[in-house]
Amino acid sequence: MGRDLYAASAAARAIFDLADATLGLALTRLCFEGPEEALTATENAQPALLTVSAALLAVLAERWGERATGPEGEATVTPSPCHPVTPSYVAGHSLGEYSALVAAGAIDIPTALRLVRRRGELMAEAREGGMAAIIGLDEARLEQICREASAEAAPVVIANYNSPGQLVISGAGAAVERACALAKERGAKRALPLKVSAAFHSPLMRDAVAGLTAAVAQAAILDARTPVISNVTAEPLIQADAIRGELIAQVTSPVRWIASVRRMVAEGVDTFVEIGPGSVLTGLIKRIAPEARLVNVSDLASAHALVKS
């Protein structure tokens, strides 16, 4: 993951080297060589995914001649303001919101790395509950099912509003099972348990809030140069204090991706550029806003293709 960027781009190498130095671990080697079990552990996967996304941003900035150096010597990247990829808004899904904040200039890369490493550690410590993908039900019906399947001490909620007909529920194990059974009875095409260690983006993640609150309080966070569409509210974030609140609330709140994309479309956005490994968000946006132009930048070749377009 990211090996082609490291081999071809000095800017990308600087990001990988910065990640290794910031975290005090061989993250670059882990990205390139694994082992897969270690790479996919959430405390490693989260900074690894952020690093690759930042490296892609660095490649774009390098190609446009806009690479800069921050006050402490860390690499920072800002797409050229004269290039059409300069965003009106940025957004990211769950972990991806941290990459969006880097792109918006609200947090620098070392700060983002430390935050997502801590976020990953806290998520890895959580062992309560589970999650399931529900395919083929609308939001209102699934929200009602979650209410019926929940108990006071054992809730289940929609955790990810990914795209119309593709939702994810999260909560206490028994409540998730009840909700899956009800969803199938009421017309869901599929109800698929996910291989996760806990009930992410649900009230059961409350124990992680204190640890992340402490980390966010110590982090240097600035006002965003570009509005960041909130996972929690689907509203634009600019002020640093609002961003701090977002990063804490995000842990126990659903990711409102459908509303986020629709908000951007309502504001006049007609082109979405996904920057990061994979193309999951491109697929989701295609179902939410089929009229939009979609561009995926996930490797060196696609980064170069965007610059040439």
| Residues with catalytic roles | 94, 201
What is the separation of C-alpha 22 from the centre of its chain, rounded to a whole number of angstroms? 20
How far is 209 from 151, CA to CA, in rounded Å? 22
> Of all helices (H) and strands (E), which one includes residue 248?
helix 240-249
Please name which of 80, 97, 69, 90 lies closest in space to residue 212, comparing C-alpha atoms: 97
Burial class of 7 by CB neighbour count within 10 A (0 to 12, 13 to 18, 19+): exposed
Strands 228-229, 236-237: pairing kind: antiparallel
Q: What b/e sequence results for 179-194 when a residue is b if at least 16 CB atoms lie within 10 Å of its CB, and e otherwise? A: bbebbeeeebeebeee
Inter-residue contact 149 to 179 (CB < 8 Å): yes
Tokens of 263: 């908000």
Q: Are 18 and 114 in contact (CB under 8 A)?
A: no
- Distance (Å) of CA 269 to CA 266, 273, 293: 7, 11, 9
